[in-house]
Amino acid sequence: MSKCFVVTGMHRSATSLLAKAMHDQDNVSWPCMPTKKEDDNQPYGYWESLKMVRVNETLLRRAGGSWFKPPAEEAILKAAEPHRKWIEGMLTKVKRGADLWGFKDPRTCLTFPVLKEALEQMGEEVHLVAIFRDPEKCGASIARMNRKISQEQAASLAREYNRRLVKWMTAYT
C-alpha cells in the first residue's frame, strides 16, 4: 500500500511553505511545482498540483460554490457522484506510480471526504496534513491580495475552512 500526504489549510496559512518542503525531500514524490511565479505575496511560489486545483474547483463549482463561497458538504458529495472515475484518474496522474507521494491545495479543506474516498478506492493510505493559522491573520492577508473580498469576509471563510478541517481530522484520523 502506498502513502499519500494531503496537505491543506486555509489560503494564506503556509500550506505552500510545507508543500515546497515536501517537494524538496528525496523520498517523496511531490508533483506540485510552483503554479505561479514567486511574487510579493508568495516569495517561493504556490506549490499546488494544477490537476488537483482543477478537481477541487470543478467539484466546488458543480456543487454551486467556489473557494470563497463554500457549498454545503452534502452538495459537494452529491456533485462528486457522477465524476468518481474522473477524480480517481486525476489522482492517478498526480501520483505517477509513486509509493510515497502527496499534493497540496487549500480547497481540499472543503472536498477532503470525496478525495479521501477516491484515494482509498485506489488502495492509498491517506495522511491528512493540516495547517491552521489565525483566521484574522488569514483574512488580513487575503484582503491585501484580493481587493474583491473584505478582511471580515476572508476571516469568516478561514473560520469555515478551519471548522471543516477539524471535522475531517476528527472523523478520519
The domain spans of the chain are 3-131
Q: Residue 10 region, left (φ>0) first, then alpha (ψ -120 to 50), else beta?
A: beta
Summarize the chain as % helix, strand, coil (round to 5): 55, 15, 35
Mean of the per-residue pLDDT values of the chain? 86
Residue 29 phi, psi (nearest 5): -80, 110
The region of weakest confidence among 28-32, 43-47, 126-130, 169-173 is 28-32
5 or 120: which leads in pLDDT: 120
The pLDDT value given to residue 41: 63
The pLDDT value given to residue 144: 85
31 or 2: which leads in pLDDT: 2
Torsion 118-20-157-65 (CA) sign: negative
- pLDDT band at 16; cut points 50, 70, 90: confident
Q: Is the pTM of this model over 0.75?
A: yes
> What digits encode the pLDDT tens for the residues 21-74?
777 776 666 565 545 555 566 666 667 788 899 999 999 999 999 999 999 999
The pLDDT value given to residue 11: 80
Determine the Cα–Cα distance for residues 169 and 33; give it in Å rounded to an integer.
26
The region of weakest confidence among 93-107, 119-133, 151-165 is 93-107
117 or 172: which leads in pLDDT: 117
Q: Decide: 128 and 112 in contact? Cβ < 8 Å.
A: yes
Angle at 19 between CA 114 and CA 83, to 5 degrees: 20
The pLDDT value given to residue 96: 86
Residue 131 has pLDDT above 60, yes or no: yes
Angle at 96 between CA 7 and CA 65, to 5 degrees: 45
47 or 136: which leads in pLDDT: 136
What does 62-82 look like in DSSP terms, one character per residue? HTT-BTTBPPPHHHHHHHHGG
The region of weakest confidence among 3-17, 54-68, 71-85 is 3-17
The pLDDT value given to residue 67: 93
Determine the Cα–Cα distance for residues 139 and 152; give it in Å rounded to an integer.
7
